[in-house]
Amino acid sequence: MATPTADEARDQALDVIAQAQEAGIRFAGSVAESWTAVLRGIPGVGSVLGADTSGTPFGNSFGNSFGSALGSAGVPHTAVEAVDRFYDTGVQLLEAQRSAAHHVLGAMGPALRPLTLVTPPAARR
Whether 39 is in a domain gets the answer yes
Whether 100 is in a domain gets the answer yes
Q: Which residues of 9-23 are buried (b: 16+ CB within 10 A; e: fewer)?
A: eeeeeeeeeeeeeee
Whether 96 is in a domain gets the answer yes
Whether 54 is in a domain gets the answer no
Q: Count Cβ atoms within 10 A of the Cβ of residue 59 and give its class: 0-12 exposed, 13-18 middle, 19 or more buried.
A: middle
Q: Which domain holds residue 100?
A: 74-107
Q: Report how many domains make up the chain.
A: 2
Whether 87 is in a domain gets the answer yes
- pLDDT tens digit string along 10-64? 999 999 999 999 999 999 889 888 888 777 777 766 665 554 444 444 444 444 4
Query: Residue 79 contacts by C-beta under 8 Å, 6 or more apart in sequence?
Result: 57
Whether 115 is in a domain gets the answer no
- pLDDT tens digit string along 57-97? 444 444 444 444 444 457 778 888 888 988 999 999 999 99
